[in-house]
């Protein structure tokens, strides 16, 4: 039986950080940020807020839409680069808070492609009959790994979470195709050192905190090429064309990346969903957050073809094509 998305939800922190706020922190301007990235504001956690809490809220909404009790969940996969603890995994922390007593759980590390990687895994576990209800959570608190003195990166990122429930759906619906890729050669263009990587026997904890490091221009070129090639490839594999695509939901990194890819693919503006102007780049959360907003805004109805394309650190990328099966919000 095919696997599809039967529940979806998202959550963002309450605190809004505007471009004007950033003007007070680094040498930048609202005008530069808007024209170079499309971002107007982003959400950031306050001290004490956790990735677990945000992921939990998104997960609870997804279960509510699916009409499922937490006990129905077999597995939780949390894609994150910013866990509250390395172990227990974020997925297991969410399992406890959710009361999903029957569920196993693990975290998945694929940077901004994490949600799509996890969705691919969930698809095949459900299709194989190894699990019936898989909760896939994408949560990142990029504000915790951003260098707030570096204007070339700090204007880009935000915090958020999104979740879906993957379960069996009727023939012809659900996930039609999914593809993953990686190229470790590009790793140095976008990376985050692990906090303990340089610790040695007898050493003292005096290393500075690690932050995201990025070669923006290299990632920009990679991202445009990737979104174009992978969207085309997933459609080709299904014997479909861009005219059949109802909604492209790309990773929300930069409006110029999305616009360049849209033009090269020959897609109309209404075939592409963006919400990065309000959230910035939320890494693994960006696709489920956008998908959830698109659905709640009535941009997705049963039978629609939606393609999600993630890309990011690794370098990694992933594409999922879905024949949407969730009814609209009542
Ligand atoms: O999740 C995936 C990860 N990331 C991405 O997808 C990001 C991909 N890259 C990008 O989105 C873009 O490369 C950026 C938005 C990061 C940068 O835009 P850009 O058009 O590539 O700008 P640039 O790096 O070429 O910088 C242009 C100028 C430079 O000044 P000079 O050398 O021309 O005098 C920068 O120093 O803009 C300057 N600049 C800024 N000015 C004001 C860089 N950051 C800022 C800033 N405010 N925040």
Domain final position from 117, 142, 172: 172
Cα separation, 33 vs 116, whole angstroms = 27
120 flagged as catalytic? no
Q: How many angstroms is it from 268 CA to the middle of ligand 1? A: 27
Whole-number Cα distances in Å, 283 to 78, 95, 227: 13, 22, 15
What's the mean pLDDT in 162-189?
Answer: 98
Task: Please check the confidence at residue 200 and state whether its pLDDT lies above 90.
Answer: no
- Residue whose Cα lies nearest atom 14 of ligand 1: it is 216
Question: Do 108 and 79 contact (CB within 8 A), yes or no?
Answer: yes
Cα-to-centroid distance, 29 and ligand 1 (Å) = 12
Q: Is the peptide bond before 88 cis (omega within 30 degrees of 0)?
A: yes
Note whether 132 and 262 are within 8 A (CB): no
Domain edge (last residue) among 172, 202, 220: 172
| Dist CA 198 CA 170 (whole Å) | 50
**Nearest 10 degrees: Cα torsion 67, 301, 140, 71:** 10
Taking residues 181-200, what's their average pLDDT?
93
For the segment 269-289, the average pLDDT, to the nearest whole number, is: 98
The rounded Å distance from CA 252 to ligand 1 centre is: 16
Domain contains 195: yes
190 pLDDT more than 60: yes
Q: List the single range of 6-15, 106-115, 193-202, 270-279 with lowest mean pLDDT.
A: 193-202
- If asked whether residues 14 and 61 sit together in one domain, one would say yes
Which residue's CA is the nearest one to ligand 1's atom 44? 152
Residue 206 binned pLDDT confidence (cut-offs 50, 70, 90): low
Higher pLDDT, 16 or 209: 16
Same structural domain, 21 and 146:
yes
Give yes or no: residues 151 and 185 share one domain.
no
Residue 301 lies in a domain: yes
Give the CATH number, domain containing residue 306. 3.40.47.10
Regarding whether 211 and 145 lie in a shared domain, the answer is no
Q: How many A from CA of 26 to the centre of ligand 1?
A: 14
Tell me if 328 is assigned to some domain: no
Q: Which atom of ligand 1 is nearest to the CA of 253?
A: 6
- Closest C-alpha to ligand 1, atom 21: 217
Residues 76-120: tens digit of each pLDDT: 999 999 999 999 999 999 999 999 999 999 999 999 999 999 999
In this model, does residue 330 exceed pLDDT 70? no
Residue with more model confidence, 185 or 196: 185
- The 8 Å CB, 24+ separation contacts for 26-31 are 26/148, 26/149, 26/150, 26/151, 26/154, 26/155, 27/151, 28/151, 28/155
For the segment 175-192, the average pLDDT, to the nearest whole number, is 98
Look at residue 204 in the predicted model and tell me its pLDDT: 76
Among the options 120, 189, 251, 254, which is catalytic?
251
Do 215 and 283 fall within a single domain? yes
pLDDT value at 247 more than 90: yes
Within a domain: 289: yes
Task: From the CA of 254, give the closest atom in ligand 1.
Answer: 11
* Domain match, 274 and 152 both: no
Instruction: Identify whether residues 152 and 236 lie together within a single domain.
Output: no
Burial class (CB in 10 A: 0-12, 13-18, 19+), 186: middle
pLDDT band at 329 (very low <50, low <70, confident <90, very high): low
Q: Which residue in the list 19, 112, 133, 189 is annotated as catalytic?
A: 112
Cis before 150 (ω within 30): no
Q: Which domain holds residue 220?
A: 175-323
**The pLDDT of residue 203:** 81
Final residue of a domain: which of 172, 187, 202?
172
Report yes or no on 28 lying in a domain. Answer: yes
Among 40, 153, 216, 286, name the best residue to mutate to test ligand 1's pocket (greatest count of ligand atoms within 8 A of Cβ): 216
> In the structure, what pLDDT confidence band is assigned to residue 321 with cuts at 50, 70 and 90?
very high
Pocket, ligand 1, Cβ cutoff 6 A: 28, 32, 36-37, 112, 151-152, 155, 190, 214, 216-217, 219-220, 223, 253-254, 257, 281, 312
Residues 13 and 26 in one domain: yes
Per-residue model confidence (pLDDT) at position 199: 84
Name 161's Cβ contacts closer than 8 Å, sequence gap at least 6. 10, 11, 12, 51, 54, 55, 57, 58, 137, 138, 139, 140, 285, 288, 289
Dist. CA 33 → ligand 1 center (Å):
9
Residue 330 covered by a domain: no
pTM for this model (two decimals): 0.97
In Å, the largest CA–CA distance within the chain is 62
Question: What does the mean pLDDT of the chain come to?
Answer: 96
Identify whether residues 197 and 281 lie together within a single domain: yes
Q: What is the mean pLDDT of residues 258-287?
A: 98
Percent of the chain with pLDDT over 70: 98
Q: Is-catalytic flag, 281?
A: yes
pLDDT above 90 as % of the chain: 94
Q: Judge whether 329 lies within some domain.
A: no
* Same domain assignment for residues 195 and 157: no
Q: Is residue 92 part of a domain?
A: yes
* Annotation marks residue 254 as catalytic: no
- For the chain, how many structural domains are there in total? 2
Same domain assignment for residues 265 and 138: no
pLDDT at 197: 84
Residues 51 and 182 in one domain: no
d(CA 87, ligand 1 centre) in Å:
35
């Amino acid at each position: 039986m095919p696997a599809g998305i039967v529940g979806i939800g998202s959550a963002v922190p309450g605190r809004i950080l505007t471009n004007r706020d950033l003007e007070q922190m680094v040498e930048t301007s609202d005008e530069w940020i808007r024209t170079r990235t499309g971002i107007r504001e982003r959400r950031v956690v306050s001290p004490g807020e956790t990735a677990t809490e945000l992921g939990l809220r998104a997960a609870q909404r997804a279960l509510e839409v699916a009409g499922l009790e937490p006990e129905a969940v077999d597995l939780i996969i949390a894609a994150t680069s910013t866990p509250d603890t390395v172990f227990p995994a974020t997925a297991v922390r969410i399992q406890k808070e959710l009361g999903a007593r029957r569920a196993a759980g693990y975290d998945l590390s694929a940077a901004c492609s994490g949600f799509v990687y996890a969705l691919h895994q969930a698809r095949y576990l459900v299709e194989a009959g190894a699990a019936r209800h898989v909760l896939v959570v994408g949560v990142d608190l990029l504000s915790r790994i951003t260098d707030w003195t570096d204007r070339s990166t700090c204007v880009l990122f935000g915090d958020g979470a999104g979740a879906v429930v993957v379960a069996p759906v009727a023939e012809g619906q659900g996930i039609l195709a999914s593809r993953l890729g990686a190229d470790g050669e590009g790793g140095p263009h976008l990376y985050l050192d692990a906090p303990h990587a340089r610790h040695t026997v007898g050493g003292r904890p005096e290393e500075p905190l690690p932050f995201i490091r990025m070669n923006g221009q290299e990632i920009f070129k990679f991202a445009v090429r990737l979104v174009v090639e992978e969207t085309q490839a997933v459609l080709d594999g299904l014997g479909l064309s861009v005219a059949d695509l109802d909604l492209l939901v790309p990773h929300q990194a930069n409006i110029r990346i999305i616009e360049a890819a849209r033009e090269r693919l020959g897609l109309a503006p209404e075939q592409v969903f963006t919400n990065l102007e309000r959230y910035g780049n939320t890494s693994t959360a960006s696709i489920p957050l956008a998908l959830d907003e698109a659905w709640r805004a009535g941009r997705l109805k049963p039978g629609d073809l939606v393609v999600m394309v993630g890309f990011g650190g690794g370098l990694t990328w992933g594409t999922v094509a879905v024949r949407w099966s969730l009814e609209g919000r009542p």
